[in-house]
Amino acid sequence: MDESAAAQARTAPGQRAPGVARVPVSLRVNGTERRLEVDTRTTLLDALRDGLKLTGTKKGCDQGQCGACTVHVDGRRMLSCLMLAASADGREVRTIEGLERDGTPHPMQEAFVRHDGLQCGYCTSGQIMSAVALLEEGRAGSDEEIREFMSGNLCRCGTYPHIVAAIREVAARGDHA
């Protein structure tokens, strides 16, 4: 690693790395317009967590394999560790913090609690964001279909049967909006 690359690697979040361009980004996050200036290499995940202090979205593998960082961008689920913040400019982003309405948890959040669809909780926000999207996409026809469309979200604790039960409950009630 040359001296310049080493200096950039040591640069703390929010600091300007020498020789690295910064760009203004405007996002509509959970219904609120948010503006920030980011390093061109900043992922949407890091912009949410470090720039906007929305820490509900988790950084798991940071390689797009675990799903812990799942958010909705323009109504579609997205792995925020794989999307540059600059490419989300002007787009609608919904995080786990944006699911509640007037202090009331989303029905999926409540169902996860009722069905014990979490243990350590690290993957839970990504699981819930994927589950909400799955219902909005109309892909909860069977347990097999739920498992297939949730397969991008990994849980080390093995709560998969509880997660499927929570999704089935909300799908059956039809109150996932």
Strands 32-39 and 92-94 come out as: unpaired
The fold of 107-173 is DNA polymerase; domain 1 (1.10.150)
Q: Report the phi/psi class of residue 30: left, alpha or beta, with left for phi > 0 and alpha for psi in -120 to 50.
A: left
Predicted structure pTM score: 0.86
CATH-assigned architecture of domain 20-96: Roll (3.10)
* Average pLDDT for runs of 10 along the chain of length 177: 45 63 96 96 98 97 95 97 98 97 95 93 95 94 94 92 94 80
Domain boundaries, the chain: 20-96, 107-173
pLDDT given for residue 8 in this prediction: 47
